[in-house]
A and B are shown apart, each in its own frame.
Chain A
């Protein structure tokens, strides 16, 4: 723990910077040399199978557990530095809140412990997550309400970094839309978002960068577009009635979908040439799109490759 009189966290280009981070439990490597750099203002999603090390990474990031090797810096400082933690909002995966508190009492408690003085902020945050005026005790809350309250607690103090572990777990579909809207607002404000979610569709919608953990190692990392697609591969749909043999001769490969083909082209000129060849073969272009894969496919491939 850094003494309060120590030098302040140094400014860094990275909101989160892990170098060779490892954590060992007995004979098991929960993290085995993870390198991750998340720039300020980014929305980074960490995905992986159960036991991949995602929660261990998050806990290392927050100083809740001590890594056995490597280093991690958050907002330019050490995770155990209270000045760093004062700028972090965290929503744990398995949220356990005091059942006898009301929503406003819990937020007031978190605000006190964060050293916040703005008395109106509690009400604003409650209103933002749709819990304004809620007088019931937390013990009577549904899981979704607890999640929303946890999110409101994480948002207190307008943190520079939001660390969210399964934030939409238990929240209904419309509530998820609202959560995404809140996170978009936080990003627009300049906050960095670090998301761990099993819902890959949520990760795609919220994050611009994704890292895949498998067996305690970061096996893939990049922008969602880069992971899910390639600028060299395209999906092309032609009008029905095309001759498959002539299209294949023009460099197109069939897909499972009717009248839909794939083609590879290094640049627009090559793509134009291929489409000209298709046209010459009697194929009329109906639709052209980058050949994107699901994040699920990318995850399965990455995990399979790691295994």
Chain B
């Protein structure tokens, strides 16, 4: 376990100078700074007395502050989910291929590490990057709005955690693909393909109802059976962030299925890694 942590830590050190990730951190910081500096929220007796962004009225004056912030939190969850995952796929697509690059993998494999530790450490390192980004974005927003309005909620952070779980699932598949073909482009393509397939799978029940009974419907049913329900989890994340009602049992099932998918992808990657010559 210590070796896994060391590999993950080294990946974080390497991530420090990744331009893509620095741009993401800067963009999140810029948005948070803009919200902190230019969003005016005056609260009187639990209601918004004045709401202004860059001096322009937002037209939410008089609404109960708890209710008024719900759409904002839900929207931020949507952005963290779809924006964060898309960005993560792009920015983290080459961590696996780089770890496997000639001259580097030989040095790593000569060290007293199990291959599976190297694999899981790399996956965990990328997951840590995602968690840091989500915590910085969602946590920062929660702190700024809580400080301005006195409304404190863990919803956005929980939504960020769900986005990280979804990204970790997709990244496990990306890592597994790297072990067959060491290409960052292919890794990103597989990530995006799984992401979009997962969005479709999230509307599986509605889509199935639109099919006529027959082979096409059965094919779609089987093709989407094991896919992570990305859009459904995003709806859950938005509901949690916006303090709306959601189905906890359904969410637990979807999260469990995603964890199983990630575990299966990592197991496949580990099997391939163990048997592969470098």
Contacts and interface: CB of A to CB of B under 8 A. Distances in A.
Interface string A52-88: 0000000100111110000000000000001101101
Interface of B: 2-3, 6-7, 9-10, 13-14, 16-18, 98, 101-115, 274-275, 277-278
Contacts of A92: 103, 106-107, 110
A97 interface: yes
A106 to B, nearest CB: 9
B277 A64 contact: yes
A140 B192 CA distance: 34
A113 B112 contact: yes
Contacts of A150: 107
Contacts of B109: 62-64
Nearest to B18: A100
Contact of B110 (A90, A100, A137): A90
A113 B104 contact: no
Interface residues of A, number: 33
Interface string A150-178: 10010000000001000000000000000
Given A66-B275, A92-B107, 20 more contacts: A59-B277, A62-B109, A64-B106, A64-B109, A65-B277, A85-B111, A86-B112, A88-B110, A90-B106, A93-B103, A95-B107, A96-B104, A100-B13, A101-B14, A113-B3, A113-B10, A113-B111, A115-B112, A137-B17, A163-B110
B6 A113 contact: yes
B112 A112 contact: no
Contacts of A135: none
A231 to B, nearest CB: 39
A90 B107 contact: yes
A98 B122 CA distance: 14
Contacts of A93: 103
Contacts of A59: 106, 277-278
Closest 10 pairs (CB-CB, A-B): A96-B103, A65-B277, A100-B17, A90-B110, A86-B112, A82-B112, A94-B103, A96-B104, A92-B106, A112-B6
Given A90-B106, A114-B111, A115-B112, A98 B14 contact: yes
A107 B14 CA distance: 14
Chain A, interface SS category: loop
Q: Most chain-A Cβ atoms within 10 A of its Cβ — which of B112, B275, B277?
A: B112
B111 A110 contact: yes
Q: Most chain-A Cβ atoms within 10 A of its Cβ — which of B7, B101, B107?
A: B107
A70 B105 CA distance: 25
A97 B18 CA distance: 15
Nearest to A3: B114
A66 B278 CA distance: 9
A93 B110 CA distance: 13
A101 B113 contact: no
19 contacts: A59-B278, A64-B109, A64-B277, A65-B277, A65-B278, A82-B114, A85-B110, A85-B112, A90-B107, A92-B107, A92-B110, A98-B10, A98-B14, A100-B16, A100-B17, A109-B13, A113-B6, A113-B112, A137-B17
A278 B104 CA distance: 61
Contacts of B2: 115
A1 interface: yes
A232 interface: no
A101 B13 CA distance: 8
Nearest to A4: B114
A297 interface: no
A1 B277 CA distance: 14
Contacts of B108: 113
A83 B111 CA distance: 10
B113 A113 contact: yes
Contacts of B16: 100
Q: Most chain-B Cβ atoms within 10 A of its Cβ — which of A85, A112, A163?
A: A112
A163 B3 CA distance: 23
Nearest to B121: A113
A211 B115 CA distance: 31
B13 A114 contact: no
Contacts of A134: none
A278 to B, nearest CB: 56
A64 B110 contact: yes
Contacts of A137: 17
Contacts of A105: 13
B37 to A, nearest CB: 32
A153 B107 CA distance: 9
Nearest to B110: A90
Interface string A15-32: 000000000000000000
Nearest to A115: B112
Given A113-B112, A115-B112, A66 B277 contact: yes
Q: Most chain-B Cβ atoms within 10 A of its Cβ — which of A93, A96, A153?
A: A96
